[in-house]
Structures are given as structure tokens and as C-alpha cells.
Structure 1
Amino acid sequence: MDRPTLFDFHGVSMIKQFTDSWEEVQNFKARPDDIVIVSYPKSGTTWVCYIMDLLFFGKTCPERLTSIPLHERVPFLEISRTSPTSEYVQKGRDLLDQLTTTPHLIKTHLPVQFLPKSFWEQNSTIVYVARNAKDTAVSYYHFCRMNYCMPEPADWSTFLQNFEEGKVSYGSWYDHVSGWWEKKQSYSKLHYMFYEDLSEDTGREMDQLCSFLGLSLSAEDKENVLTRVKFDNMKTNKMSNFSTIHHMDQTVSPFMRKNDSVSLGKVGDWKNLFTVSQNEKFDEDYKQKLKNPTLHFH
């Protein structure tokens, strides 16, 4: 299977599987009760999507949990068919049209300037999850190694350089997290979460998420969700671990790596891959590019 190549798309590095249906995506008709889950790639998107799906439908539609893959329950807005043999035989837009549950939960990695305008016009709810840059870079590298629908990552040193320069799918991490953070200041229906906080205390962050969404959980329901979203349970759940997606070669690197930061509490996986000199260079670059004084990562 040929891997895609990056190209400049309105100032952001992208690949065609995320832009081929661009006009259709931009003309998407949002609904006021739509909930959009946004992140830069490899920032805990699957984790938050699963939490959200359980919060809304874990009790009312429990059959979903064992019969429908997460990527169909929470469709990926901008994705088009990835290849002739891909399991994403339907565009994210088509999957959205087929949803029978409300509210619609919608996943996207789009930077803030690319989100279809109807979401703003309809005052839709947005949940953004951000993850520290170093762990994101490491997780993204391993993801590109195992996902043949992503550009060839080359070696770690090359990938890290490209990441720092925004020459990866969805462009600059710095622009992405900063753009959405700035939008939060003027758009009240945007909840900005940090992956590290979710790892530190999932229950606390889930309480804050429920408060934002206007949901009320019993202690029993909360405990049930917390159990289901533990790393070990998600890792073995075929409906959430992407093992049904054959263009992801989990023998190269599992979608949820054993020592990855997604293992609820293990933040700092970057230390296993960054060299001292890479870390020093990255820190200098970070100071130059993340300039918003109010946005802080662990």
C-alpha cells in the first residue's frame, strides 16, 4: 500500500484523505446539540471519545459498546475513504448521516480556522483535548510507523525535526493548541481539557466534563465509566483499540502501546526516546513557538 505524501493546504500540512471531501465537510450542516471532540493527533482523542460515548449512551444504548466500533459511534468528520481496501469505506460525513442517537458526537483534528462555520453558527458544543508536545510527538511517531495511511515517518530524528517544523499531518502542534486556546476565550461552549490532568485524576476531570455538558451521573454510573476507560480495558476492547482496522499494523506498534502515556498515569513517555541534545533543542524551539503566556502544559 502506497503511503500518502504531505502537501501545503491553506498554510497547513495535510494529506489528501483529510481534504478530498473538503467542500462537503465545509458545507456540513451542524445542529445545536452537536458535540465536537477536537484535538491535535495523538493527544488522547480516542480516550475522550470513548468517555463521551459512555457518558451519553453507556446506559441507554449498551449494545453499541460490543457491536459498533468507536470510529462509527463517533465519526471522524473530515476523513474520506483511505484506500480501496480500507475499512473506512464510508466518509466521516456519511457515517454522521447514519447516526441514530442524539446528540451526535463528532471527532475532528481540524485546526480552529478549518472548522466548518455552521458549528459556530449553531453554537455547537466543543470539547478540546490537548497533550504536552513531547509526548504527542513520540506517540505520533509510533502511530505513523504502524498506520500505512499516514506519511512515512522515516527515523525518529527526522520525524522530530518535521514535527517541530509543522511538517506532519495537521501541521504545527503549536498553532493548533494555541489557536483553540484563544478561541476558548471568546466562545463559551468550548471546554479545554489537558491529557495530563485526565491521566492524573480521570474521575475529577470527568466530573468537570459532566458539569460543562450538563450531565449528572450516579456514583455507580461514574464508577462503571471509569472502569471501562481504564487503559487495560480499552487496550483489549476490539471496539476501541482499532484492531479491526487493517491498515494499522499493530505488530509494528500497537495503537495503544504498553508503555505509552495513554496508560492512564504514565505521562512523560518522551524521556524514553528523546536524546539529551534533542530535548535541549526542542526546549529552545518550544520557548520560541508557544508564546501564549496563559497556556501551560505539565
Structure 2
Amino acid sequence: MDALARPEMFDFQGVSMTNIFTDNWENLQKFQARPDDILIATYPKAGTTWVSQILDLLWFGQTERQKTLPIHERVPFLELHILPDMSGTKQADTLPTSPRLIKTHLPVQFVPKSFWEQNCRVVYVARNAKDNMVSYFHFNRMNKLQPPAGDWDDFFQQFMKGKMVFGPWYDHVNGWWKKKQTYPKIHYMFYEDMIEDTGREIDNLCSFLGLSPSAEEKKMVLGGTQFDSMKKNQMANYSTIAEMDFTISPFMRKGKVGDWKNHFTVAQNEKFDEDYKQKMKDSTIQFRTEV
């Protein structure tokens, strides 16, 4: 891909996507999950890297892998496909670990069916729409593999219309929430709960996964997944990826709840709340925009 050309969004089976996530579609859909795979699913910028790091430390501890392999090699991004050498399905197929930790931003209807057939465990993380929007905006500003963000007001409108890579936030969080009602092996987590009490959320995660770490191990996981330590950790902060321009914004920016208040105008907030009420009126998910 031309280093300067940013990918363009197009409608793909009713969802806005870019070619780096659809070029490998046939192989993606035929991907063979294994029964012990753990799928980490989120809407973009909802805590994916955080949960990936937590799970990696829980399963495999502080090893050489952690110090020498960036997180995107330890936890492949299933649908990402950039020729010649970046293919999430290939990476997942050659992962040496068991279980394999695999991440996806796919809306639930696009997930390869072998994950359901193999009865895989899924960890889904949802983040309130306002903070998620702000984080996505800064991400699109700095990541050349994403469509340009435009200015904040423009991005705000596009987000509400659902014209985002991986589709509308509303459909994503609700689609996975509905799936959880019929497929019990989904652990649905909230970013805000993780910020409020990371230890408690790690305990819940462990009981879902059937893990019982010692107090020492838990301390190590907590220490290795604090926002500030991950932000400085080159193996976790995506600073090794050339397409991410850290002079514009770091990949891990603030990791807070409520930063939307520094971006939304009063008018935008009113407009957003009105629209949100309509779009979420049939949903039973409760989000918090402050902690």
C-alpha cells in the first residue's frame, strides 16, 4: 500500500470496512478455530490491548516472549491483512502458544463460524460511546492505516451515523450483547468497570476462564497492565508500527473515563444524548460515562 494513501471506507455487507480487513475474507471465513482458543472481541479503541495484555500475562506469565514480542505478534489481529507479510489468519495459524489468544474487531455476524462450532470462549469489552468516540478520533488522526479523521465536528457526525470502520458502535455492542444471551461462553466486560477496579475485573475474568492465579501472580498481572506501565512498554504500546504517527498522538493516550467532556460541546452533548436514546431504546445494556 502506498505509504501516503490512506484506505477508503466502503460498504461491505452492510458494514463500513476498508480493504485491509476484507481482502482476506474467504480465508478469514474458513479460519479453523480450536476448542481452547480465546477470542478477544471489541469495537476499536475499547480496551483491546489492555485485555490482551492481561490475558497474555494470566496464561503465560512474565516470560521472554513478553519482553521481545510486541503484543500484536502475541495476540494476532485476525482480520488484518496487509500484503506481503501481514496476515492475521496466518499469524494465528502459526502461533506457538496454547491456548491461542486472538483479537478481532468484527461485528458478531462476521465472526468465522468455527469459533461457535468449537465452543470457544470469547471475552468482549465494551466502552461507553462518548469516550469510545473520542479515542477513535485520536486513533484515526495518528494511524495511517485508518481513513482520515477529519475535524472533530465531522468525526462526531460520522460516528453517530455509524460511518466508522467496523460499522456503528451501537450495532456492535448490541450485537455481541444479544449473542451472549444464546451463547453462554461470552464474558462481556465494561471498560469503565476495569478502570474502577482492575483487580475485581481480573478476578471475574479468571473465574470465567477457570484460572486460579496466586496472590503473587495476580500482583504481577496488575503491575504489568497499569496504563502508565503499558504506555511506556514498547512491547505493548504499538510504537514499533511505522504506520502509527506518535507525533500526532500516542496509541495509548489517556486511558480514562470521562475524557469526552474535554471534547463534546454542550450542543453536541445534547444532540448525542437525544440520538443515543433513540438508537439504544431497545437495549438492556447500561453504560456509564463517568466513574
TM category, shorter: over 0.9
Q: Distance in 1 between matches of 2:278 and 2:43?
A: 20
Residue 64 of structure 2 corresponds to: 63
The aligned amino acid for 2:24 is S
Residue 40 of structure 2 corresponds to: 37
The aligned amino acid for 1:209 is L
| TM-score, normalization by structure 2 | 0.96
Residues 179-226 of structure 1 show CA distances to partners (whole Å, capped at 9, x for unaligned) of: 000110111110000000000000000000000000001111101110
* Structure 1 runs of 4+ with >4 Å offset: none
Q: How many angstroms does 1:291 deviate by?
A: 2.5
In the TM superposition, 1:116-155 aligns within 5 A as: 116-155=112-151
**Which of 279, 282, 290 is matched with 1:292 structurally?**
282
3-state SS of paired residue (2:189): strand
Residue 207 of structure 2 corresponds to: 211
Alignment check: 8 A CA contact 2:17 2:167 kept: yes
The aligned amino acid for 2:178 is E
Residues 154-193 of structure 1 show CA distances to partners (whole Å, capped at 9, x for unaligned) of: 1000001001101010010000000000110111110000
Residue 179 of structure 1 corresponds to: 175
Alignment check: 8 A CA contact 1:146 1:253 kept: yes
The aligned amino acid for 1:162 is Q
Residue 238 of structure 2 corresponds to: 242
Alignment check: 8 A CA contact 2:9 2:17 kept: yes
The aligned amino acid for 1:6 is M
Residue 24 of structure 1 corresponds to: 27
In the TM superposition, 1:76-87 aligns within 5 A as: 76-81=77-82
The aligned amino acid for 1:127 is V
Alignment check: 8 A CA contact 2:174 2:283 kept: no
Q: CA RMSD in A?
A: 0.9
Question: Quick one: percent identity of the two aligned structures?
Answer: 64
Q: Distance in 1 between matches of 2:284 and 2:197?
A: 22
3-state SS of paired residue (1:38): strand
Structure 2 unmatched ranges of 5 or more? none
The aligned amino acid for 1:270 is W
Structure 1 unmatched ranges of 5 or more? none
Q: How many angstroms does 1:278 deviate by?
A: 0.5
Alignment check: 8 A CA contact 1:238 1:244 kept: yes
Residues matched between the structures, number:
285
3-state SS of paired residue (1:181): helix
Q: Distance in 1 between matches of 2:210 and 2:272?
A: 40
**Which of 247, 267, 271 is matched with 1:281 structurally?**
271
Alignment check: 8 A CA contact 1:178 1:292 kept: no
3-state SS of paired residue (1:185): helix
